[in-house]
Amino acid sequence: MYELVQVAENTYYINSPSKIGVYRVSDDDVWLIDSGNDKDAGRKIQKILDAQGWKLTAIINTHSNADHVGGNTLLQNRLNCAVYSTPMENIVAENPILEPTFLYGGYPFKKLRSKFLMATPSSTQDIATAKLPDGMEYFRLPGHFWDMIGVKTPDDVYFLADCIFGEGTVNKYHISFFYDLAAQFETLDMV
């Protein structure tokens, strides 16, 4: 777990519970796609980046579920990187109590206020204002969460967030959450 896997000339992923995309802009500059589930994930990511001699410029959060934004705060504090996503996802990343509150329908009881559903707050910016690396694109993937996005690297590698779940994930959790089921079906048709 937490191994760096190269999938194209400049595109990698970190094999972790929530796969973390890595795009190498230059010999020493990288962007992440998501940041894992907590500060421990952030530490492991930093260790991998340091071992490669890479500087983290920015993180793109595909959506605000805790397992995709949990490493943001540690990486921001240590590496001074920007974090980008869509405005609605940014609201949740900055106010993580909103995820378990939304899922529960009221103030969440203690077991719902865990790192699985509630990341540490992070400072975020609208991805529409980001100067993405040349050839990198983001696109909407509505359905699973508020305003989830996917990312295409210049190597034509697509990171699809949680619009598709593998068999292992389905077997582990037995049920999936979809904010908008009709939009999820449209996203699956598009993908």
Model confidence pLDDT, tens digit, residues 41-66? 999 999 999 999 999 999 999 999 99
End-to-end Cα, the chain, rounded Å:
27
| CATH number for the segment(s) 3-190 | 3.60.15.10
Phi and psi at residue 92, to the nearest 5°: -70, -40
Entry pTM? 0.94
Task: Return all residues near 132 (Cβ < 8 A) that are at least 6 apart.
Answer: 138
The Cα 104–Cα 71 span in angstroms is 24
pLDDT class of 87 with cuts at 50, 70, 90: very high
Spatial neighbors of 137 by CB under 8 A, at least 6 apart, are 151, 152
What per-residue confidence (pLDDT) applies to 175?
A: 80
Find where tokens 């796969």 sit. Answer: 19
Q: Give 10-25 pLDDT, tens digit per residue.
A: 999 999 988 999 999 9
Q: Is the pLDDT of residue 174 over 90?
A: no
Determine the 3-state secondary structure of 49 from DSSP. helix
- Strands of the sheet containing 29-33, edge to edge, are 3-6, 11-15, 20-24, 29-33, 55-60, 82-85, 125-126
- Is 166 a residue whose pLDDT tops 90? no
Q: Where are the domains of the chain?
A: 3-190
Instruction: Name the average pLDDT for the chain.
Output: 95
